[in-house]
Chains A and B, each alone.
Chain A
Amino acid sequence: DAGVIQSPRHEVTEMGQEVTLRCKPISGHNSLFWYRQTMMRGLELLIYFNNNVPIDDSGMPEDRFSAKMPNASFSTLKIQPSEPRDSAVYFCASSPEGPHSGNTIYFGEGSWLTVV
């Protein structure tokens, strides 16, 4: 079974540009998460979707960040405009159940974003 697929794996962009990160969750999983990893702050949950509906976006840092999940097999995280402090690794992850205790969350390999 294919894991969580993210693209692009690496992106270097100039400050002010729009960045779109893409994610395909594991088939059959109805929970999807976007995390951000930095040296300073570690792993932070940005947003959580359940059955394609955003349930918790309290971790989205600013209005410059937006996330969508138009269907069960695709999600995007967009940053517009991007800033150097957005440089981080962004992980998409999925889980087979909704708010249901104890389920494993499966991570993609990450999108490494550098904003110069």
Chain B
Amino acid sequence: AQSVTQLDSQVPVFEEAPVELRCNYSSSVSVYLFWYVQYPNQGLQLLLKYLSGSTLVKGINGFEAEFNKSQTSFHLRKPSVHISDTAEYFCAVTPRGSNYKLTFGKGTLLTVNP
């Protein structure tokens, strides 16, 4: 079985500051990793995903994440955030070969203040 731990439930930052949202996972098999974002009163949408290859993955809206196999982490970063980035961010993991077993973390609420 897989599990995902998002280490911070809330992250407040000021506009134009850098941000890192932390995600650690546990799995006995190889996995694929995802970050989804949920804006207020909306569904989830994909920010980025790691399948293979380069461990640095770039996504939409200027976000990027780095896969670290030895530390079983997949932290999300943005060098300069905007007010519009205020949302809940979910890290998710699925074992290779089994798409539907997508396990989500509890989410991190990013609040960007002016």
A contact set with B: CB distance below 8 Å = 4, 31, 33, 42-43, 45, 48, 50, 55-56, 91, 93, 95, 97-110
Which range contains the number of B residues in contact with the other chain? 20 to 34
CA distance A42 to B101 in the complex (A): 15
Interface of B is mostly: loop
Name 4 extra pairs, CB < 8 A, besides A99-B97, A104-B49, A109-B43: A93-B43, A101-B98, A106-B46, A110-B43
| B100 A55 Cβ-Cβ under 8 A | yes
B106 (CB) vs chain A CBs: closest residue:
A42
CB contacts (< 8 Å) of A91 on chain B: these are 43-44
| B90 A43 Cβ-Cβ under 8 A | yes
| B105 A42 Cβ-Cβ under 8 A | yes
| B51 A102 Cβ-Cβ under 8 A | yes
